[in-house]
Amino acid sequence: MKSFDGIKKPSKEEQKLAIESYDALASAIAQLKSDEPEIEIEETKERIKIPLSALKLLGEILDAMGKGKPFSLVPMATEVTTQKAAEILGCSRPHFVKLLEEGEIGFTKVGKSRRVKFEDVMRYERKAEKAYHRHHEGGRRKRYVRFIVYSLLVFWTPMSYTRSMRNTSNNPKKYCGQ
């Protein structure tokens, strides 16, 4: 298994080249009609057939590089240690082990060590991200509704009602119509 230690951000030159290449590749992919297009390596004049899905993956890589994001290609069946999985998720190893023990993420034991499939780590990350956005979007919506209700009460309340409410604290009999 390859380590994640060699992952670094692309340089400014690599970013610039990736942006230019991505635009050209995206345009070419949009015009393709075949699932197995033939491409030509300009320097060697060699022509090769490549699956369209591989070409699209190259587009995703160029897009990530153009945005300055570090990336790595990892086979989905790759197993990672709990430490590497915790680093991927951006949490502590003890917290990650707690997630494993609670059954949030599947794992296998090799001797005393736990191994986690990279695919399962990424699945958990997507699930946690969706839950986070769902929770925060709901909170934003509630705050917005509270603001609207408050605004309506404060700004759109008839003056006669607000005057009568002010008068209740001074003279309760007057508010009751007496």
Structural domain boundaries of the chain?
A: 12-66, 74-178
What is the C-alpha separation between 68 and 116, in angstroms, rounded?
A: 28
Sole residue written with tokens 């997630």: 99
Scanning the structure block, which residue is given the tokens 């709901």? Answer: 138
Identify the pLDDT of residue 82: 92
**Beta-carbon neighbour count of residue 159 at 10 Å?**
7
pLDDT tens sequence for the chain (178 residues)? 344 455 677 889 999 999 998 988 888 888 888 888 888 888 999 999 989 888 888 888 899 888 888 777 766 678 889 998 898 888 999 999 999 999 999 999 888 899 999 889 988 998 888 887 777 665 555 555 555 555 444 444 444 444 444 444 554 444 444 4
pLDDT at 106: 92
Provide the whole-model pTM: 0.47
3 state DSSP class of 132:
helix
- Distance CA(99)–CA(127), nearest Å, equals 13
Maximum C-alpha span of the chain: 100
Looking at residue 9, its pLDDT comes to: 79
CA gap 133, 9 in Å, rounded: 27
Instruction: Dig out the tokens for 133 from the structure.
Output: 């956005």
Whether the CB-CB separation of 87 and 81 falls below 8 Å is answered with no
User: Residue 113: in which H helix or E strand, if any?
Assistant: strand 113-117
